[in-house]
Amino acid sequence: MTQFVQFEDLGNMPYKQAWDYQESLLKKNLEVKAALRNATDSQEPITTHDSPFTTHHYLLFVEHPPVYTLGKSGDVNNILISEEERTAKGIEYYPTNRGGDITFHGPQQIVGYPIFDLEKFETDIGKYLRKLEDVIILTMADYGLKGDRSPGETGVWLDPDVKGKERKICAMGVRCSRWVTMHGFAFNVNTDLNYFNNIIPCGIQNKQVTSLEKELGHAVSFNEAKERVKKNFEKVFDIQL
Active site residues: 202
- Is 181 labelled a binding residue? no
- Is 53 labelled a binding residue? no
- Is 102 labelled a binding residue? yes
- Is 147 labelled a binding residue? no
Q: What is the 3-state secondary structure (H, E, C) of 15-42?
A: HHHHHHHHHHHHHHHHHHHHHHHHHHHH
- Is 2 labelled a binding residue? no
- Is 100 labelled a binding residue? yes
- Is 106 labelled a binding residue? no
- Is 186 labelled a binding residue? yes
- Is 50 labelled a binding residue? no
Residue stretches of the annotated binding site: 98-105, 171-173, 184-186
What residue numbers does the annotated binding site for substrate cover?
A: 98-105, 171-173, 184-186
